[in-house]
Amino acid sequence: MLRTLGILALICAAAFGLHLVLDSIDAYWARIANLCGISILLAVSLNVINGLCGQFSLGHAGFMAIGAYVSAFFTTTLRYFDDAAGQYVTVLPLLDQSWGFVPALLLGGFAAAAAGLVIGIPTLRLRGDYLAIATLGFGEIVTIMITNFSKVGGANGLSGIPAYSNGFWIFTFAGICVLFTLHLQRSTFGRALIAIRENELAAEVMGIRTARIKIAAFVYGAFFAGIAGGLLGHFLQTISPATFGFMKSIEVIVMLVLGGLGSLTGAIIGAVTLTVLPELLRDVETSTGMPGIRMVVYSLVLILLMLFRPQGIFGQRELSLRLLRSLLPGRRKEGAPSAPAAFTAQQSVEAKTFFARAPQTLPPQNEGKK
């Protein structure tokens, strides 16, 4: 517990430091950095569903939309302009302050998680491409519902959302998401996710309660997608259903595939690359007079990756300091595993040698005993 709090404090401190740095540099690049943080949240959370658990979801933007709308509803619609005071007053005094934004954000996250639960339960019966299509349908339904819900502005969207998102909040949540996911990968739960991805039937036979685990993965991914949506809404200060269309889900998937489905660091690097790249291509597009070439490049990258390097940049491995550490013998800490989260056929050799060296790093599979 103390350790967790310590880590949380560390993340906050790091995020605050980063926030200060971003405040002092050129606003354009600071903005891109913040957007990178939001992309990281999206990619890492989708990686839990698509990469680790192997449940192909095409509805991530739907979860984002729910988070964005719920949190913005609390910070925007529940306040009114008080003429006497000359400022905005909220129905709940808590939301007056920028820190009151956190409960709104969390509510958005929980709403998205609830949607994850709702979509997770029925889609348990579906596999592979059927699941993909069902989640795509879910995403479409969400945007159609929002479009026709005039309380939140319909097609107009919501505007005038207070600019509560900043480097501190974005990177605090991104950091929490990354660290949670890192721990999750190494936990029994994480192993169960991977077991389901590799062979669901075998996992079930091994005593893993696949249904629960799959729903949990959806809920977890949806929660952080909702947070990302809320952060984006309070960053852009305006949201509309069109922002959370099918193409947004595709964008996040391209990030994952680029970095390597199932790799946490891959997801992060994919997210950063695909947020920065279009900005670098901006001048190219203007000077060549070929606007829109960006999306062509995206899709080509996606196809070529699938054809020539389907595992992405990192495959299911992680870019970690393990490599560096292996160069420094004798500094291995006891019980600090850096297990690769994979047991695929092509990596079984690697896995075997790994286990041969450090068998004690395999966590006990409690799920198996009943």
Distance CA 168, CA 15 (A): 5
The answer to whether residue 45 forms part of the interface with another protein (CB under 8 A) is: no
Figure out which of the listed residues 91, 92, 133, 323 binds another protein, where binding follows CB under 8 A. Answer: 133
The answer to whether residue 144 forms part of the interface with another protein (CB under 8 A) is: yes
The answer to whether residue 179 forms part of the interface with another protein (CB under 8 A) is: yes
The answer to whether residue 159 forms part of the interface with another protein (CB under 8 A) is: yes
Structure tokens at 282: 């901006």
Is residue 227 within 8 Å of 62, Cβ to Cβ?
no
The answer to whether residue 9 forms part of the interface with another protein (CB under 8 A) is: no
Figure out which of the listed residues 52, 64, 65, 268 binds another protein, where binding follows CB under 8 A. Answer: 268
Binding mask 301-330 for another protein (x = CB under 8 A): -xx--xx--x---------xx---------
The Cα-based distances of 303 to 130, 297, 308, 352 in angstroms read 21, 10, 9, 32
Figure out which of the listed residues 125, 212, 309, 332 binds another protein, where binding follows CB under 8 A. Answer: 125
Structure tokens at 258: 């680029």
The answer to whether residue 117 forms part of the interface with another protein (CB under 8 A) is: no
The answer to whether residue 22 forms part of the interface with another protein (CB under 8 A) is: yes
DSSP 70-120: HHHIIIIITEEEETTTTEEEESSGGGGSGGGHHHHHHHHHHHHHHHHHHHH
How near is the Cβ of 25 to another protein at its closest, in Å?
5
Rounded (10°) CA dihedral 40, 42, 44, 45: 150
Binding mask 234-253 for another protein (x = CB under 8 A): --xxxxxxxx--xx--x--x
Q: Which is nearer to another protein, 25 or 92 (CB)?
A: 25
How near is the Cβ of 108 to another protein at its closest, in Å?
18
Stretch that binds another protein, among 69-77, 91-99, 271-279, 353-361 (CB under 8 A): 271-279
Nearest Cα to 239, choosing from 65, 29, 10, 5? Answer: 65
List the Cα angle 154/156/159 in 5-degree steps: 110
